[in-house]
Structure 1
Amino acid sequence: MGAIQATVIYLILLHACRSRAAAQDGIWKSATATYTKETDGSIINEGACGYGNLHKSSYGKYSAGLSSMLFNRGSSCGGCFEVRCVDHILWCLQGSPSVILTATDFCSPNYGLPADYGGWCNIPRAHFEMSEAAFAEIADQQRADVDIVPVQYRRVKCERKGGIRFTVKGSSLFYQVLISNVGLDGEVVAVKVKGSKTGWIPMGRNWGQNWQCNINLAGQPLSFEVTARTGTTVASYNVAPSNWRFGQTFEGKQF
């Protein structure tokens, strides 16, 4: 088999996998949920996706930590999930209202505890660790016996204000960018960067939604190409001026 044929077959299979994933997004699936007590009622820690202060990154109280099964080694970061409490007349609020959560953190397994008593995030459980404020919108957390509730979840589109945000990090020979505020399905599967003196350079996932490449782009306006889980790509040209500095955040186009 030639290289061209192999590439074509790979692209067809990739498209088929993404199509199946998209078709299943609207299906309700079973999971469980707990909440983390915070003084202001929301999760503000940096988390495993690297978004930093979650209020500043716009995710706020609707952030969630995902168990291994859902986190998918960080590729789910930024993805949006609709979650509702089900199957418990005392714990779930009437009408089974739902909330839209953004994946921002990893809920670590605890194999010292059984999966049905404390080890909520152990493989292969599907579990959401929510903020107390978001949890209160679907369940009655005031009841003394409520620490975990049965829920259903499904993947949904992310509604974002403004464009995709690019936070530049790294050093002169280690260039890194944090991708946040992503619409559509919220997940980023590929990123490319382009300076005024370069072509499009593919970046590798460092961790969470931090992407990297080993190249010096100082003094060049920067453009970015972002590909979502569904295969849709959007390019933002010259979003960072030639005098950009590490630590700055720039806003590009949205899906």
Structure 2
Amino acid sequence: MVRQEQHQHRMDGPWILEAVPLMVVGLITAHVVALVYWIYSDNNTVNDHVAGEEVKSTSFHKSRFRIPANGSGFSSAGATWYGGPNGAGSDGGACGYGNAVGRSPFSSMISAGGPSLFKSGKGCGSCYQVKCTAHSSCSGKPVTVVITDECAGCVSESTHFDLSGTAFGAMAISGQEQQLRNAGVLQIEYQRVDCNYPGTNIVFKVDAGSNPHYFSTLVEYEEGNSDIASIDLQDSSASANYWRPMQQLWGAVWKLDSDSALTGPLSLRLKSSTGEIVVALNVIPAGWGSGATYRSTVNFNE
């Protein structure tokens, strides 16, 4: 009862005269903040509509790769290396790139990826910056690598890079490459980045077992920072709007089984995981051959 009387006394006294101005200021501040938030949100909505739905989706995903939890652009991962000290890991690997891993534009700067990077093959061709600071031979400077292989047993960390000897040594201070390789398992930092192959567009290497009723192709050198979500095929006998979905066979290899014979030239439509679509029109010519490589004139612009 005593506490209730004291509380009542404070409400009836001059305290209320001091509180009213503060309450008014608080209400005004809250309304101003709400108004600013509404204006900001509304402007963003207008800009998204002006830019278009596809641009909005791509911008969102690019920012996601740039802003990890620690706010610096990089996240933590484990790293090892395989193959020769100055080699490209192994020829080919689980993505199917063959000996292209040792040639430009890959140039041996490649990595096998643990499950979170390989993504059952959808991660093939994705690019990452990696750097190390946890060893005295680390330069701390980022280098770019491409996922070209799978490291199925690399599960001791949520993210693991099994780098080529060349890529692992590239994280070292100049002249200390072998000292760094001798360190064994390293804790590194990584971030997803755009793949950039100046002067190189998407390439299709037709599988050696392909025929008019079965078409299979390796897809290489996609630019941007997203994965291929789907590929559709159209042959010259189909109507303009008729596309047949291909299936991911393994790694970066996609295939189509056809009841009727495919008539060249063939066009391929690729869709990225961010929604961007590119069409390689008539990229596989009439009279195409199994085992042949065909270069397109398109690439992603993410």
TM-score strictly above 0.5: yes
Greater fraction of residues in strand: 1
Q: Look at both structures and tell me which one has the larger radius of gyration over its CA atoms.
A: 2
For the residues of structure 2 that align with 1:172 and 1:123, how far apart are their CA atoms? 45
- Root-mean-square deviation (Å): 2.5
Report the equivalent of 1:176. Answer: 216
Contact 1:44-1:60 within 8 A present in 2 as well: no
Q: 1:156 aligns with which of 193, 196, 199?
A: 193
The one-letter code of the counterpart of 2:88 is S
Report the equivalent of 2:112. Answer: 65
Q: 1:92 aligns with which of 138, 156, 167?
A: 138
Gaps of 5+ in 1: 1-14, 110-120
Contact 1:77-1:103 within 8 A present in 2 as well: yes
Q: CA deviation at 1:86?
A: 2.4
Q: CA deviation at 1:187?
A: 2.3
Q: 2:64 aligns with which of 12, 24, 39?
A: 24
Identity %: 28
Pick 1 or 2: higher relative contact order, CA cutoff 8 A, min separation 6: 1
Report the equivalent of 2:203. Answer: 165
For the residues of structure 2 that align with 1:123 and 1:206, how far apart are their CA atoms? 28
- Are 2:178 and 1:142 equivalent residues in the alignment? yes
- Are 2:236 and 1:196 equivalent residues in the alignment? yes
Q: CA deviation at 1:179?
A: 0.6
For the residues of structure 2 that align with 1:177 and 1:230, how far apart are their CA atoms? 22
Q: CA deviation at 1:226?
A: 1.0
* TM-score, normalisation: structure 1: 0.81
Matches within 5 A, 1:106-255: 106-109=150-153, 121-122=154-155, 124-139=157-172, 140-143=176-179, 146-160=183-197, 161-169=199-207, 170-185=210-225, 187-198=227-238, 199-215=242-258, 217-252=261-296, 253-255=298-300
CA-to-aligned-CA distance 1:161-200 (integer Å, 9 cap, x gap): 3210011122332211111011112621111111101231
Q: CA deviation at 1:67?
A: 0.7
For the residues of structure 1 that align with 2:201 and 2:182, how far apart are their CA atoms? 42
CA-to-aligned-CA distance 1:186-216 (integer Å, 9 cap, x gap): 6211111111012311111111111111115
Contact 1:33-1:150 within 8 A present in 2 as well: yes
Contact 2:202-2:219 within 8 A present in 1 as well: yes
The one-letter code of the counterpart of 2:299 is Q
Q: CA deviation at 1:20?
A: 5.7
SS in 1 for 2:217: strand
Judged with a 3 Å threshold, the aligned counterparts in structure 2 of structure 1 residues 16 and 205 are, in CA distance, closer, same or farther, namely farther
Judged with a 3 Å threshold, the aligned counterparts in structure 2 of structure 1 residues 173 and 189 are, in CA distance, closer, same or farther, namely same
For the residues of structure 1 that align with 2:83 and 2:155, how far apart are their CA atoms? 21
The one-letter code of the counterpart of 2:237 is K
For the residues of structure 2 that align with 1:39 and 1:152, how far apart are their CA atoms? 21
For the residues of structure 2 that align with 1:131 and 1:141, how far apart are their CA atoms? 12
CA-to-aligned-CA distance 1:108-144 (integer Å, 9 cap, x gap): 21xxxxxxxxxxx125531111111221111344338
More off after superposition, 38-47 vs 28-37: 38-47
Q: CA deviation at 1:58?
A: 3.4
Q: CA deviation at 1:39?
A: 6.7
For the residues of structure 2 that align with 1:148 and 1:224, how far apart are their CA atoms? 41
Contact 1:83-1:100 within 8 A present in 2 as well: yes
SS in 1 for 2:98: coil
